[in-house]
Structure 1
Amino acid sequence: MAKILIIGDGAIGLLLAHFLSAQHSVSVLTRKSTSNTRFYSSDNSASQKINASFISLNELNSLPKFDVFLFTVKAFQVQSAFAQIKQFLPQHCSVVLSHNGMGNVEQLKCELNEHQALYFLTTSMAGFKSNQYIVQHTGNGQSIIGGCNNLGVKNSKIMADQLTAIPLLNASMNIEQLRFNKLLVNIAINPLSALHNIKNGQLREPQYCSIIINLLTEACNIAKAKNLDVTLINALSSAYDVMARTAENFSSMQQDVAHNRATEIMAICGYISEQGKLHNIKTPFNDELLAKIAAKKSAV
């Protein structure tokens, strides 16, 4: 049994806490009340108590050392969250990132020692919080973990076995490729669903086809420049498959915009825009969507 600290109690953080607590000692770092019970619900069934401890930052000093630190905050929150947690990392431990978009890996690799393994966890598991303390599990999906530094790459299969309580979890020796594949799905779904305030499945309507193709064409051009094995037809197939499987769901970015929260747009379209400048590749469609989401967020 491992001692796991989950940093962030959003929907994915609570879903992972629910599953991992079946086999491990799980604590969840939260800024909300630590005394309120959190619940997991699936398919409108009766809610179950999430069997994890919810703690505040000032409680970490008095707790035993953790084996695994799992960051489920949004991409733009990772650096500040890690800065707060770094002093509590043991000499030997594992750090796992899980968020939409790209970024953060290279920065954190420089912050860890050779005995601290860094991993990235991608997941297609879907859920949302119906209130601050209840997470609704709305869709199953594969989760994949892979190493991002030398120790992580060496121990990817071991880490996957340790976290096997996560449904449909597998290890990968090429997590960067899979992260980019997930980015393509995010580009096709999250910003457009947020911009038009629609559910994922509605993006399959014909009026969105052209913009989705243009957005993903730009992203595939970036992938080619980075020597990644990505094709437009596969990117479109994956995106429309996720739209179908999560047809009745609202994306996380739609929820962020609807609730006037900061979004992960910089780690999604913003990443493509930045990489376009770096590789001298034009990305007008991602640039425009980046600007529109930023304007929509600042206008509400």
Structure 2
Amino acid sequence: MMNSTWHVLGTGAIGGLFACRLKDARATVVLCSRDAKVTEQSIVLRENDEPRSHRFTSEPVTAATPISHLLLTTKSYDAINAMNSVVHRFTKDTVIVAMMNGMAHVSSFPAIAPQSNVVFATTTAGCHRTGDEWIPAGNGQTLLGALDKNPTAPAWLATWQSAMPNVSWRIDIEQRLIEKVAINACINPLTAANNIRNGELLTPQYRPLLDQIIAEVQIILTAINETAMVMTLKSSVYRVISDTADNRSSMATDVQSKRKTEVDEIIGWLINRDAIHETKADLPLLHQLNESIKSIEPVR
């Protein structure tokens, strides 16, 4: 098994989790920092009520040394700026794994690094931060793939499969990313606007709103010719809610913490598809939630 060096840019909940998992799989992991004075960072991972500290070398994004493998796990609205901050370190052999919500970055990344190997990823692995600790909340499933639909998994995937369970290479990664956006659009804004946990969406108080937003997202999926997703969306949303009933969505956590949200990159991306403008579809709840959440988040 090839254990390569992985740089990680964006050590929030998911970035920190994957940095620890890759390090546990004996990969060399370097954290990228915007602070040139930081040379070392620690992440405390608490599992089974036992804290375990992982120490990492830290490099400034402005360093000149080439990056062989990059895991990018920033917020979606920071993704393009983050890529541009390290693009001078990419070579024709650099592998970039972009793991974040939304779809806005998907068309941009190959253009930013046309000489490199851009891979997209989505995960249902759970993790949240409490103080200085990262607390995993389920292994979930991690899907990776390239837009060229190359069916051959890269050699480095073996390290990921050693680091995390349920990691697979997919030729339909673009559809899986769209599906993740569709599911997030049904769950995250409603939980954020109402300050509730995911499971509360299945209660009589919120289920009618949930079903309405699912129906509106299905209209969008039909308009962009993702008809297979239309058939499975409701069952997928209900399953994710049941599997994560005690969790707070990332958007709900962001609103609660008075941080910027990814509502533009999730709902905004869906309602601004050309096909939606052409059909003039009526999507009242999606528009209401989009404006409501944008009105309470900090100015970007």
Q: Same fold (TM over 0.5)?
A: yes
Equivalent position of 2:226 in the other structure? 228
TM-score computed with the length of structure 2 as normaliser:
0.89
Equivalent position of 1:216 in the other structure? 214
Moved more, 77-86 or 155-164: 155-164
CA distance in 2, matches of 1:85, 1:197: 36
Equivalent position of 1:86 in the other structure? 87
Equivalent position of 2:158 in the other structure? 161
On the 8 A contact 2:198/2:248 being kept in 1, the answer is yes
CA distance in 1, matches of 2:130, 2:200: 21
Equivalent position of 1:27 in the other structure? 30
On the 8 A contact 1:216/1:232 being kept in 2, the answer is no
Task: Quote how far apart the aligned CAs of 1:269 are.
Answer: 0.8
On the 8 A contact 1:153/1:173 being kept in 2, the answer is yes
Q: Please give the per-residue CA displacement for 1:240-293, whole angstroms capped at 9, x wherever unaligned.
A: 212122111111111111111111001111111111226543322211110010
On the 8 A contact 1:156/1:173 being kept in 2, the answer is no
Percent of pairs with identical residues: 25
Equivalent position of 1:71 in the other structure? 72
CA distance in 1, matches of 2:6, 2:117: 14
Q: Please give the per-residue CA displacement for 1:128-187, whole angstroms capped at 9, x wherever unaligned.
A: 1112x3211012201110112x3x735545453342223210111101111122112211
> What is the one-letter code of the residue matched to 2:45?
Y
Equivalent position of 1:140 in the other structure? 139
Equivalent of 1:266, from 250, 256, 264? Answer: 264
> What is the one-letter code of the residue matched to 2:225?
N
Moved more, 227-236 or 240-249: 227-236
TM-score computed with the length of structure 1 as normaliser:
0.89
On the 8 A contact 1:195/1:296 being kept in 2, the answer is no
What are the within-5 Å matches in structure 2 for residues 1-12 of structure 1?
A: 1-12=3-14
Equivalent position of 1:283 in the other structure? 283
Moved more, 203-212 or 77-86: 203-212
Q: Please give the per-residue CA displacement for 1:58-113, whole angstroms capped at 9, x wherever unaligned.
A: 4x22x4x3221111001110011111110111221111111112211111111223
> What is the one-letter code of the residue matched to 2:9?
I
Structure 1, gaps ≥5 residues long: none
Equivalent position of 1:251 in the other structure? 249
Moved more, 84-93 or 12-21: 84-93
CA distance in 1, matches of 2:238, 2:85: 38
On the 8 A contact 2:8/2:15 being kept in 1, the answer is yes
Equivalent position of 1:55 in the other structure? 59
1:6/1:298 CA distance change after superposition, 3 Å: closer
